[in-house]
A and B are shown apart, each in its own frame.
Chain A
Amino acid sequence: MQNKGNHRAPISQKPLVIEKPKDPSFIGGSVSVEINEKKVSVPLGTTILDACKQNGITVPTLCHHEDLCVAGVCRVCVVEVEGMRTLQASCAFPITAPIKIKTSTPMVRKARRHIIDLMLSEHCGECYSCFRNGKCELQNLAKEYGVDNYTFGHTNQPKYEIDNSSYSVVRDQNKCVLCKRCVRTCIDLQEVGVLEAVERGHNTRISTFLDKPLLDVICINCGQCINRCPTAALRANDPSDEIWAAIDDPKKHVVIQTAPSPRAAICEEFGLEAGHSLTKELNTALRRIGFDRVFDTNTTADLTIFEEGTELIIRLYKALVKKENVALPQFTSCSPGWVKFLEHYYPDYVDNLSSAKSPQQMFGALIKTFYAEKAGVNPEDIVSVAVMPCSAKKF
């Protein structure tokens, strides 16, 4: 299994330690396996799932995520391995010996359907009223496996309160399937570790330290957990209603700034190839929506560079010429997520942060001062909106 450098995850989730030759072409470096009666050869330690992928065979997954360490908890990816009494989770099974795998026997399909049905039985609410409708991995699985009649019941009664305390992340446990992708993301990729499973059995849920609202724990608002949640249990805080209200209010002057990366990212929503920038189209669309002005954050990105650059020169001057004690190296302060991370985990380094505002913040300030004056608008009537690439920008 690949090592994803995850030194804080419990051993159960770490890539499994398997002694193997570095080069798969060495003797014992690869194993031959039979997948659905097709003979193939894979490097020792490859998971069944990866072996299947490499050979064009699809195995459904839910808790598995390419970026994350193994979990093996949803059990949707089970397959038959000849000679084994039980089905095996293909995402968590490293191949170390020649085995025969069957990925779609009646037994396997039935087990998968049962598992999906069980998850749906506890998955509160209906898809048509869900913001993930059409983009939900659980929904896709249910559709693919024809699980469409709630064999084991269904609930519309929320069990948990929605936590929308955070500026960035909204948690709705009622949609959670306990895949623990968020847990692994937070501790493993982000090294923050805000989320963990608590209680056990049927009462298991994902929680924060002492069950506190997300606002009150050391969450850095990075939103990486949202990116990896397969369902609607995690989502970004959505301020559309407030923005519409401002646009609809004739007294308000509503302006918006767009950062470069969402201008490109939005192309994927329209089926274009990733990386295609839609700056002009987006500008037009925003104007038609009713924004009074559209600005480009690039302007203040340049300002930030001037500021931070000047600050660095001053610090270097103080350190090298004046031999004063200043904090070096100088860290950027452009990401509120990073700043919060540093404040919580490495407070000793806070002095190393640049004192410059981020481009978004600079623009916000400029709009209310320089622009307000130029345009002759009362700063109090200006509503300033920003399209940004990261949920931490809301903080």
Chain B
Amino acid sequence: MENKKRKGAVIFSPYKKGEAIKKVVELKREDVLFELRESKLKGRGCAGFPTATKWTLVAAASSQEKYIVCNADEGEPGTFKDRVLLLEYPELVFDGMVIAGYTIGAKTGILYLRGEYEYMLKSLEDYLESMRKEKLLGKNIAGKEGFDFDIIIRLGSGAYVCGEETALIESLEGNRGEARNRPPYPVNTGFMGKPTTVNNVETFAAVSHIVVKGGTWYRKHGTDKSTGSKLFSVSGDCERPGVYELPWGIKVSELLEIVGAKDTKAVQVGGASGICIPKSQFDRILGYEDAATGGSIMIFNESRNMLHILKNFMEFFVEESCGQCTPCRIGNVKLLEGVEMLENGTYTFGYMNQLKELGKSMQIASKCGLGQSSPNAFISILENFKEEIFNGGGNHAK
């Protein structure tokens, strides 16, 4: 079981089950937060919020009842790295959650598992049971008097928006999966109105390594603004798709080299809600300072039609919008209609510009990250592939 074939500098570096938990119970809570601050770890869910700050806020909240939520909804098109972590490295994820519980003072952790991952449920439950047997969960964890923490697993039911942390919490509470008004944030009023930290699977995995090896060690990887490494889910036109651990700051072209992509025309970084990078910009780097991503990298070669790709993304958003706020509910439909106009040649340049402006309003006026990021692909593909699109990107030569 310990014979893992994946290799990587940080996440996939050697780690023994419970290692971090046994270490953390010897530390003071402030020391854990200090190491996290040192590491400059940012959330791996896509928003990139500094994890130390989030945890400090929850740790400082006066409530007796607090919650840890692990966001394993993994709904962004083209990401599958959380699946790999949960299947092959559950110790990293669950140990990370226990560490969070210790640091923040929570007694309950909830793993919000994507509905489609139901097949993992049994093995994950078994794994939690084995942790309980080894005193890594339950009462007086790792011999630490008074440190009680347990983890439960809840299944989502396939809505992309439920990956958004406040919609996720609504869903956990049994309501419609709709984003909440923010502020106040979940760190103050989260699950059941109690302080809650919601973190991505990979964030927890990174925390386990940081506790064992230290924040300074972690910071040595990656760049100044994007420390550590990142798991990339690479798919599309390349010889070796899959999950890669690579340091932040790597150039798009370098990544393409590693995965064996040839004839590449465009790379969609960050899934449907991300941006589309054309060949001319392949020297851009992956990291929070330039092209950030929750992990999704989709590669398209010269044979692909950008308009079809865009249409696919827009259909996704029309389908997945929760429908509560106006810009996202109706705006995405208008953008999709625009793509269809481009396809069959019934557009005017004026109207396309209007739609781009609409996209910009959606980015700032939508209630949650879904609507705020749904026009990204529309805007970046229209801007970066003008030639192709307006010269008959559809089947229409014009």
Contacts and interface: CB of A to CB of B under 8 A. Distances in A.
Interface of A: 10-12, 16-19, 70, 72-76, 78, 85-87, 89, 92-94, 96, 107, 110-111, 114-115, 118-119, 121-122, 151-153, 177-178, 180, 197, 199-204
A76 B325 CA distance: 10
B324 interface: yes
Nearest to A152: B334
A94 B318 CA distance: 30
A122 B323 contact: no
B146 to A, nearest CB: 26
26 contacts: A10-B176, A12-B178, A18-B184, A72-B325, A73-B324, A73-B325, A74-B325, A75-B365, A87-B365, A93-B181, A96-B184, A114-B327, A114-B357, A121-B330, A153-B334, A178-B329, A197-B324, A201-B322, A201-B329, A201-B332, A202-B318, A202-B321, A202-B330, A202-B332, A204-B322, A204-B329
B331 A118 contact: yes
Contact of A204 (B175, B183, B323, B331): B323
A119 B322 CA distance: 16
Contacts of A87: 364-365
Contacts of B326: 73-76, 115, 118-119, 177-178
A152 B181 contact: no
Contact of B321 (A70, A76, A121, A200): A200
Nearest to B192: A11
A202 B333 CA distance: 7
Nearest to A196: B176
A17 B189 contact: yes
Chain A facing B: main interface SS: loop
Interface string B303-333: 0000000000000001111111111011111
A60 to B, nearest CB: 13
Contacts of A89: 181, 367
Contact of B184 (A94, A114, A197, A200): A94
Contacts of B321: 200-202
A35 B80 CA distance: 45
Contacts of B358: 114, 118, 152
Nearest to A119: B326
B159 interface: yes
Given A75-B327, A115-B327, A202-B318, A94 B365 contact: no
Contacts of B325: 72-75
Contacts of A96: 183-184
B173 A11 contact: yes
A114 B331 CA distance: 9
A118 B327 contact: yes
A178 B324 contact: yes
B179 to A, nearest CB: 8
Chain B facing A: main interface SS: helix
Given A119-B330, A197-B323, A12 B180 contact: yes
B170 interface: yes
Contacts of B79: none
Q: Which 7 A-B pairs have the closest CB atoms?
A: A204-B323, A92-B181, A118-B330, A114-B361, A201-B321, A111-B365, A72-B181
Given A202-B318, A202-B329, A115 B323 contact: no
Contacts of B166: 12
Interface in B224-277: none
A18 B358 CA distance: 34
Contacts of A200: 159, 161, 177, 320-323
Contacts of B197: none
B103 interface: no
A197 B333 contact: no
Nearest to B191: A11
Given A115-B326, A180-B324, 14 more contacts: A11-B175, A12-B175, A70-B181, A75-B367, A110-B361, A122-B330, A152-B358, A197-B176, A197-B324, A200-B177, A200-B322, A201-B319, A201-B321, A204-B329
Contact of A111 (B322, B323, B364): B364
Nearest to B177: A200
Contacts of B367: 72-73, 75, 89
Nearest to B194: A17
A252 B372 CA distance: 62
B188 interface: yes
A193 to B, nearest CB: 13
Which of B177, B321, B326, B331 has most A Cβ within 10 Å?
B326
B189 A16 contact: yes
A270 to B, nearest CB: 35
B39 interface: no
Contacts of A94: 183-184
A68 to B, nearest CB: 14
Given A86-B372, A94-B183, A201-B320, A115 B329 contact: no
A86 B331 contact: no
A11 B166 CA distance: 11
B193 interface: yes
Contacts of B357: 110, 114
